[in-house]
Structure 1
Amino acid sequence: MAASSLPSGMHVFERGWLSANNILFADGDQTVLVDSGYCTHCAQTLSLVEAVLGNRPLDTLVNTHLHSDHCGGNAALQARYPALQTLIPPGHAPQVAQWDAAALSYLPTGQRCPRFGFDQTLQPGAKIRFGAAEWQVHAAAGHDPHSVIFFEPETRMLISADALWENGFGVVFPELEGSDAFAEVAKTLDLIERLNPETVIPGHGRVFIYTPEILAKARQRLDSFIANPVKHARHAVKVLLVFKLLEVQRQLIDEFTQWTVTTPYFEQIRVRFFREVPMAVWVGQLYAELVAAGVATKEGEYILPGFAR
């Protein structure tokens, strides 16, 4: 969908895979940004926002959920705009207030997220004004148990975060930890079907026109994971590896392997799903699969991304 088809004053910044998309509302009395990207891209996030707002302040920052690729730029935006009001989903509000980086998933996954504060929480069932319109706040558990999505009924536009992409949805992390989160994904897909959006702004990838076929594809993907949880687990660890590889860009294989071995989430997943494979052997298998798929490449003693996203 072309950016020119978006409502006046609404700007969608499609980011690379390391950073979630940002949605900026610059019309009306209050300017609003949905999601802030990853911390290593914060300079670009600030530049994108400033290019639209000029000397106007950013009034409100809203996070769909608190994975590092969606809120990693919060601290930089709060520093740039001292009067900024930040709204987050309620589920992890105590952990943000205390800054429990383990409970917020940043330490276990080996990802970075500078500490930020918040002013209010987003309550599912409420409405929030983005630009000239009121958007509904809906709970969207699954990929993250506390995620929310936003729906504007007049234009039937959906900000879906990682609950629905054009070709699926985000990794279902709670399922890897023993929670029955696949069922929550199904409920969220049912919700989206009831909302029946026309346009979807996903957390990653281009804006797209919603069709029943897109939802059917997401459900097929979910069914394949339900039938084979090990397939989902292997997909998840590869996503985490590629995410880190995109962050560091180039690293000695031994150093990258050491990072993997000492990052708690990998051992947790290995013990749950791949217990029979020693850690070093398992990591080697994952690297080989990434290289074979073309998403990573080796140059001598170094590993680096095999593609740009």
Structure 2
Amino acid sequence: MNAPAQSPAQLPVQLPESIRVFERGWLSSNNVLLVDETRAALVDTGYATHAAQTVALVRHALGTRALDLIVNTHLHSDHCGGNAQLQAAWPCETRIPARSAAVVRDWDETRLTFRATGQTCERFGFTGTLVPGERLALGGFEWEVIGAPGHDPDSVMLYAAGPRLLISADALWEHGFGVIFPELDGESGFAEQQAVLETIAKLDVRIVIPGHGAPFANVETALERAFSRLAWLRADPARNARNALKVLIVFKLLEVRTMTLATLDTMLDDAAAMRAAASQLAPRHAWRALLGELTAELAKSGALVLNGERIEAPALAA
């Protein structure tokens, strides 16, 4: 059977030969490999349980060449979970957002996001930082580091004016953006996300390489969707909390494949981000009912399977 014809908006975009995107499904973010005569760099490294696969993808792409540099746009577990294994495979430099340096240096688990989201990340080190306004030479192009708080207060994007490319991480996807996590803790995040979207709108961007999903060229349409979604979230912050809790439930379930509602209920007490989201939606005594409601909605959408008190990830495609 022939595949259906694609509209122009759906056709794969053409990236420079020096840039390759490993488009990953959940649990991992996309990995962007940039190779030139001087070095090979990887932007973002996926989730810990996919780390061996990330190493294999990079090794296959580079052949006998070494990976010289890791760049992390931000330190959520799906963007830096492969750091440790990549560092073990190659003696590469690693650069992280400057605002995250202290917590990584001390491996402060109360301030790192991994435990707060019920996720894992093997400890890694870093050799340098990324400061908004500085420039990096990657893949034969000059990239400007742009601050991108909102989804994460420390996050950055990379913009290359020559080829008009933006590595947007979770600040802009083709159909939205990442959860606005600061708002779960009562901190400002919506205003920062608004400012980031406005910054992107002022850039001359031909192609966006997002943290999740395929690279896309319909930038104006994506921005319109993102501005609309942000306005919808700001009108009722509980929507952001509800979305966050659903995302974190599905993420954990995709990792462990099956768990009970009782286990999930216990996670709400242990994982600060999940607890904060639940607290915005219901009092503690009503969390079990809240989980029942949310998992029923997720089951209806096909994101999980309900089997009595047990919830399961959908069967993997053959």
Which stretch of the first structure deviates more once superposed, 238-247 or 255-264?
255-264
SS of equivalent residue, structure 2 residue 17: coil
1:227 maps onto 2:243 in alignment: no
Which of 117, 120, 127 is the aligned partner of 1:119? 127
Equivalent position amino acid for 2:74 in 1: H
Distance change (3 Å), C-alpha of 1:89 and 1:143? same
Distance across 2 between alignment mates of 1:199 and 1:98: 37
Matches within 5 A, 1:31-70: 31-70=40-79
Distance across 1 between alignment mates of 2:316 and 2:231: 29
Distance across 2 between alignment mates of 1:166 and 1:212: 10
SS of equivalent residue, structure 1 residue 168: coil
Distance change (3 Å), C-alpha of 1:288 and 1:261? farther
Equivalent position amino acid for 2:220 in 1: P
SS of equivalent residue, structure 1 residue 111: coil
Which of 232, 247, 253 is the aligned partner of 1:239? 247
Distance across 1 between alignment mates of 2:271 and 2:134: 38
Give 1:290 shift.
1.3
Q: Is the 8 A contact 2:250 2:304 kept in 1?
A: yes
SS of equivalent residue, structure 2 residue 27: coil
Deviations 1:38-87 (A, max 9, x none): 00000110010001111211000000000000001101111111x21000
Matches within 5 A, 1:1-309: 5-81=14-90, 83-275=91-283, 278-299=286-307, 302-306=310-314
Deviations 1:168-214 (A, max 9, x none): 10000001111121000010001001113110000000110033222
Distance change (3 Å), C-alpha of 1:307 and 1:163? farther
Q: Is the 8 A contact 2:96 2:129 kept in 1?
A: yes
Distance across 2 between alignment mates of 1:253 and 1:277: 14
Q: Identity of counterpart residues, as a percentage?
A: 45
Deviations 1:118-173 (A, max 9, x none): 01001110100112111111001100011100011011000000000000100000
SS of equivalent residue, structure 1 residue 64: coil
Q: Is the 8 A contact 2:238 2:280 kept in 1?
A: no
Q: Is the 8 A contact 2:13 2:215 kept in 1?
A: no
SS of equivalent residue, structure 2 residue 174: coil
Which stretch of the first structure deviates more once superposed, 269-278 or 112-121?
269-278
Q: Is the 8 A contact 1:261 1:279 kept in 2?
A: no
Which stretch of the first structure deviates more once superposed, 164-173 or 288-297?
288-297
Q: State the TM-score, normalized to the length of structure 2.
A: 0.92
Equivalent position amino acid for 2:60 in 1: A
SS of equivalent residue, structure 1 residue 291: helix
Distance across 2 between alignment mates of 1:178 and 1:80: 40
SS of equivalent residue, structure 1 residue 5: coil
Q: Which runs of 5+ in 1 are unaligned?
A: none
Distance change (3 Å), C-alpha of 1:95 and 1:294? same
Equivalent position amino acid for 1:190 in 2: E
Distance across 1 between alignment mates of 2:235 and 2:254: 30
How many pairs were matched up? 308
Distance across 2 between alignment mates of 1:266 and 1:13: 29
Distance across 1 between alignment mates of 2:134 and 2:174: 26
Distance change (3 Å), C-alpha of 1:253 and 1:117? same
Distance change (3 Å), C-alpha of 1:298 and 1:211? same
Q: Deviation above 6 Å: which 4+ runs of structure 1? A: 1-4
Q: Is the 8 A contact 1:22 1:35 kept in 2?
A: yes
Q: Is the 8 A contact 1:3 1:12 kept in 2?
A: no
Q: State the TM-score, normalized to the length of structure 1.
A: 0.94
Distance change (3 Å), C-alpha of 1:80 and 1:281? same
Distance across 2 between alignment mates of 1:51 and 1:90: 31
Equivalent position amino acid for 2:246 in 1: K
